[in-house]
Structure 1
């Protein structure tokens, strides 16, 4: 029984942890943009500004966000940016997207961020392998240089004091 409770609690913790990463992305989508500046630059109407700020305040904490997106945490991206497009209109939304997301779909930007951890780990591994290969290359070139120079030190074996034991 204790094992079952432990397994269930670990499962719920890991699910909650992964969903909190989605919520953090959601929060960054709000805090990384100066919405006052966006409204001023795009000449949004008072109603559009009010709708946009209401959208930004829709889920003030993780629990309110989680009630809606617990079963499909990826969905927040599509919902949010569809709502922003509806509020701004297609033309202003395109200007917003070009300025803040370099013309890319914000949904795709946040989906790509979701996988950054994996790609970062792969890059670290490749860097480590490259460094190891460079070290091995240096060692081998030193060995070859000594061998060509007639230096017998490349034949030294650790623990061998030069005497033959029979």
Structure 2
């Protein structure tokens, strides 16, 4: 090409385009920070009742793995909350354009939750419209301790679930 552009895939859903942008060099350090999540986990805990006491038992199997290209995590979860079968699929990634981590969670009840993630050392915080979660990694990233909270008014949060995920592989 004489105009300095070359064809390449810029975004898979757009096909090939002419661009002067340099091709991506692969996952960067912000993507690699997500390595802490990769693996198979057993998730055990409980709901938190209105009075703050432990409620229904939660048991799930969670798998976090790299998607194609190694820039997004795919998280699948299957299990039970009390007597109910639950599950979902989450996509977690770092968006270079916005400079933020994002999570899109599609649950077995048909809900979609979009959250912003903030990493601070071994602590990750999810913030959605009506939920937030604080994830603390410990034991060399082999344990996740998680407090889930919810809000009905957008201001006041109350604990909804407390779980511990233990990496099995």
TM over 0.5: no
- Compare CA radii of gyration and give the structure with the larger one: 1
Normalised by the length of structure 1, the TM-score is: 0.29
Q: Counting strand residues as a fraction of each chain, which structure ranks higher?
A: 2
Q: Counting helix residues as a fraction of each chain, which structure ranks higher?
A: 1
Normalised by the length of structure 2, the TM-score is: 0.28
